[in-house]
Amino acid sequence: MIRLSTGIHDFDKLIEGGIPQGFFVALTGEPGTGKTIFSLSFIHEGLVHGEPAIYVTTEESRDSIIRQAKMFNWDLEEYIEKKLIIIDALMKEREDEWSLTELEPEALVQKVIEAKQKLGSGWARLVIDSVSALFLDKPAMARKISYYLKRVLNKWRFTILVTSQYAITTSQAFGFGVEHVADGIIRFRRVIRDGMLHRYVIIEKMRQTNHDKYVWEIDIVPGKGIVLLGRLNERREDYALPKKVMDKIKEANKDESDIQ
């Protein structure tokens, strides 16, 4: 089995060397936890080894993505159009060949396939950041849309990362659809502890892989990207949500299932 480095070598070790080629992996987590930076690292790592890539951005502009990558010394500009296509799905006025004016799954898939045809028939890395944008107004469709993406894109020799938001109140609606369909789930978390923001990552699922099962604290370091600080073998309270918050979520979910 061919495994693709994420560009974060300590992280690769947790998944037997990397993400299996052809996999569809979900990166889920709250805002600001590192999903986009992880995705950029994955794309950049492929590019420096000659692997083409497509990056679909729905929440930030193409320029913002390029600028963000630069802060970690990942120069994406030099690959654009040759090996890298960034599909801007922000649906702004400015239109070019690689902009989307509507964010519908079919239109997105069509654009991705066009980009793939331009990049050649070999394997390519694909990021959809974020896939949640496709079902923001119809969370019940999350699973169906995720399945559609996986099924159609599967024929095009992609290894795929999709990011998905994990808002506390809507965790079930957004998390579930993608997570069931995905071959792997990398879960990012954040917690304020001792007056400071801490970020964590755990591999919740990686098919065909004897993956690590611990929570790791991570940091985002200028010039480097995501860095693993250490394994958490402490109490769950160190990264879990406070009980009061958990109780509220349970209560909200109960109300929701009452309605359905």
| Three-state DSSP state, 126 | strand
What would the x/- binding string for ligand ATP be over residues 213 to 252, using CB under 6 A? Answer: -------x-x------------------------------
Q: Which residues contact 140 (CB under 8 A, 6 or more apart)?
A: 173
Please tell me the count of residues contacting ligand ATP according to CB under 6 A: 13
Q: How far apart are alpha carbons 64 and 36 in whole angstroms?
A: 11
Minimum Å gap between C-beta 62 and ligand ATP is 15
Of the residues 2, 32, 106, 240, which one makes contact with ligand ATP according to CB under 6 A: 32
What are residue 44's phi and psi, to 5 degrees? -65, -40
Using CB under 6 A as the binding rule, whether residue 36 contacts ligand ATP is answered as: yes
DSSP 99: B
Task: Tell me: cis bond preceding 99? Omega within 30 of 0 counts.
Answer: no
Using CB under 6 A as the binding rule, whether residue 59 contacts ligand ATP is answered as: yes
Output the six-digit token pair for 135.
């079902």
Minimum Å gap between C-beta 56 and ligand ATP is 13
Compute how many other C-beta atoms are within 10 angstroms of the C-beta atom of residue 143. Answer: 16
Q: How far apart are alpha carbons 110 and 121 in whole angstroms?
A: 16
Answer positive or negative: Cα dihedral of 105, 107, 108, 113. positive
Output the six-digit token pair for 145.
């849309």
Q: What residue type is 114 in one-letter code? A: E
Using CB under 6 A as the binding rule, whether residue 165 contacts ligand ATP is answered as: yes
Minimum Å gap between C-beta 147 and ligand ATP is 22
Cite the beta strand spans of 130-260 per DSSP E: 158-165, 184-193, 196-206, 215-221, 225-232
Quick one: 36 or 159, whose CB is closer to ligand ATP? 36
Of the residues 33, 36, 99, 146, which one makes contact with Mg ion according to CB under 5 A: 36
Quick one: 109 or 220, whose CB is closer to ligand ATP? 220
| Interacting partner of 149 out of Mg ion, ligand ATP, none (Cβ under 5 to 8 A depending on kind) | none
Looking at 3-11, 29-37, 44-52, 196-204, which segment touches Mg ion (CB under 5 A)?
29-37
| Interacting partner of 7 out of Mg ion, ligand ATP, none (Cβ under 5 to 8 A depending on kind) | none
Quick one: 14 or 37, whose CB is closer to ligand ATP? 37
Binding site for Mg ion (CB under 5 A): 36
Binding site for ligand ATP (CB under 6 A): 29, 31-37, 59, 71, 165, 220, 222
